[in-house]
Structures are given as C-alpha cells and as structure tokens.
Amino acid sequence: MRFSRVAAMKDKMKDKKIILGITGSIAAYKAAYLTRLLVKKGAEVQIVMTPAAKEFITPLTLSTLSRKPVVSEFFSARDGSWHSHVDLGTWADAMLIAPATASTIGKMANGIADNMLVTTWLSCRAPVFIAPAMDLDMYAHPSTQQNLERLRNCGNHIIEPAAGELASLLNGKGRMEEPDRIVDTLEAFFASQHILRKKKVLITAGPTYEKIDPIRFIGNYSSGKMGFALAEACARKGAEVHLVAGPVALQTVHPHIRRTDVESADEMYAVAVASFAKADIAILCAAVADYRPEKQLTEKMKRETKSQLSLSLTRNRDIAAALGAAKRDGQLLVGFALETNDGIKHARAKLEQKNLDLIALNSLEDEGAGFGFDTNKVTLIDRKGETTALTLKSKTGVAEEIVTKVIALADKR
C-alpha cells in the first residue's frame, strides 16, 4: 500500500507545465540536474534566465536538457519577436525559481520588473516556489528576511536553503536545497493539490457583531487574517472554498473563493449550517460571540436618559457543536481555540465536546499570536491526541501548515 501511494504521488508531476527561473548564483550549475529531474518525471519545463544567470551556465546546456529554447530577454536578438511573459504566466502549472539570489528576491518583493524572470513571476497565476541561494550573512540579513516574509505573505512557497559549506568557504545556512529535495517538494504539492482538488471547503473568519442598538454592538478584536489566509491556502491547492466572513476590512484574491459576508453570530450560524451540508471539510476560524443582547433596541439609546446601563445577555447558538453533531462519515471538521490559561487541557476538551477532527490552539500567552497580528503561533491537536507545536510565523505560513495537516487527515480517509 505504501509503495502504491508513493508511486501515485510521483505520477502527479506527469505533464505538469513548470517554469524554471534561474538567477545569477553559483548554484545555477545545479539547474542542469534539476531540469533533468523534472523532465524525467514527465514535466514540461520552460526555462527563464536572468542575464546574470548566463554567466554561470549556458542557455545551450539548459535548452538541450529541457528540449525548449531558453527565454532570457524580452525580445529575440535574431528577429525582434516578443517573448510574452503573460502567455508564460498563464501557461504554467507552477513556477520554480532555483536558485533565487538576494537581488532577485528583493526585486520580487518590491515589484521591480526589470527583467524577463520577474515580469513572468508577476504574470504567473500558478503556485510559485522559491529556493534561495546566497552567502550566510546575506541570507540572515534583516532585509533579506523581510523580503522573504513579504513573498510568503503573498502566497509564495519558500524552499528553505540548507546549511553547509558555501562558495565563500564559510559554513552556514544559504546553500540552495538539493534538486532531489526540491522535486520532492513539488511532487508533494501536486499530490496534496490532487487530494483537495474540487473538494468543497467551508471556512469561517473574523468576528461577529451583536447589536445593542443601531450604532453600538458587542464584538471582539479578530481581524479575520487567519481565516482569510486559510481560504487562500485551500484555494491554491484546488479546493472550492466558501468563506463566511464577519465584518472585516479584507479582500479575497483567489477566484475559487466564494465569499458570504455576515454580521451576527445568528447569521453566521445559518450560513455555516447550510453550507456544511454540502461541504467535505469545514475550518471554523471565526471568533464568534458567545452571547448577544437579549433585546436589541431599534433606536439609539441616549446616554442622558440613563446614569447606569445593564445589559441582559443570552447565549448564541454554537456553530462548532451544531456542525459536529451533523457531521457525516468522511467529513472533516477543524476548530480553533483561543485560551488564556491551561490551553492544551481546554483545547482537548473542546475537540471532544464539539466532535472535531483537529483543533488549532491559540494562546494569548504567546507573544505575536492571536488577534490583530500578522503572525501566529498555534498548537495542532488531532483525535488521536497527537500534538504539534508550530513556531511563530506569518499567518500565511501557519495556514499552509494547518492545510498540510488537514490534507494528511483527508488522505488517510
């Protein structure tokens, strides 16, 4: 069984259209082996080089291995014909930039489209994988790390460099990952995309507002960033996403995301329950208000008429519990828990009580995690009790980790 699954994963590269971007790094010599591996796996490879890359490896070598003319300039020197970066961007199933220098990473992070490679990247609709290669101090420099983080937040996949001896003869992190492992990363991505392809995924995001009167409400500090990152991550892997969003100032990007905006917990409950009936997977990331005012005033309450105010609150319906009770065989239900103390204990209890398959624990005790931040730090707990503590990273990165775990659970079923 294990052999057949591995074989099936490798088949996912067959007939895939890959743009391989090569930049001016000594690691460009590895691009020859990388090209050969991709072609051997059945992929169709179109190479786009920066002018500096041609100083390290010749287009002739790469065109021979890829069986396609290499693209480097905007116009052909022979006849003046135009190389369309737009056509390349819409042609590809994935774009891989390996090696990616600090210079190219900086240009990409800031949209500086002064060569064919960066303009192709800007036009690319497919997932993008970036394999940095540079000296250890260049890689560790705050500007490089900020540029990589910006690219992650745009949805690019960063293939972390390895540590070892560098061209400078120094030892440290900065070596481009080996071609075999880069290809493994692409294979795993296409395999996961196959698992989620056409799957219907329900995601809730953001806060809910519970009206007191026409201008006042009970709410919370949720920005919706985590839920929106999850929606984008699922959509990039081929899922059809229904995003149910509370009142947030965020926009969706991927065309496979269908968005329904709601305001109150009752509204979110109604939409989520209806959508879950047709869903394969649900990820409940919204910070839903537990209570609402028992009575909502139809006119503005005047401060002058009351020296003190008492609100009578009533409990909102529990979306996670309702979906857990309605869950069919084969459906996956993922929840979030935001805790201030005894997080693991409370999260495990919620996992059982709500009939969840996976729960992501946020703790306000972790700096940089929770409401309002661009970063997050979660601990994933599944039905078997397996606990995975993630490090602090961007919410885009956390979303990728959560979706990877969801894919693994879906694959087992």
DSSP H stretches of helix in 277-394: 319-326, 343-353
Q: Which tokens hold the place of 363? A: 């703790």
3-state secondary structure (DSSP) of residue 180? helix
Distance, in Å, from the CA atom of 207 to the CA atom of 205, rounded to the nearest integer, reads 7
Rounded distance, CA 330 to CA 29, Å?
47
Helix (H), strand (E), coil (C) string for 228-274:
HHHHHHHHHCCCEEEEEECCCCCCCCCCCEEEEECCCHHHHHHHHHH
Q: Is 156 a known active-site residue?
A: no
Omega before 255 cis (within 30°)?
no
Tokens 């069919």 map to which residue? 328
Q: What are 389's strand-pairing partners?
A: 379
Of 53, 96, 97, 46, nearest in space to 68 by CA:
46
Residue 201 CA to residue 276 CA, distance in Å, equals: 8
Tell me the two tokens of residue 217.
Answer: 């409400």
Query: Which neighbouring-strand residues pair with 165?
Result: 171
Q: Which of 153, 171, 220, 376 is catalytic?
A: 220
Of 394, 404, 334, which is closest to residue 193 (Cα–Cα)?
Answer: 404
What is the Cα–Cα distance from 31 to 46, expressed in whole angstroms?
12
DSSP string for residues in 361-409: EEETTSTT-STT-SEE-EEEEETT--EEEPPSEEHHHHHHHHHHHHHHH
The residues annotated with a catalytic role in the active site are 220
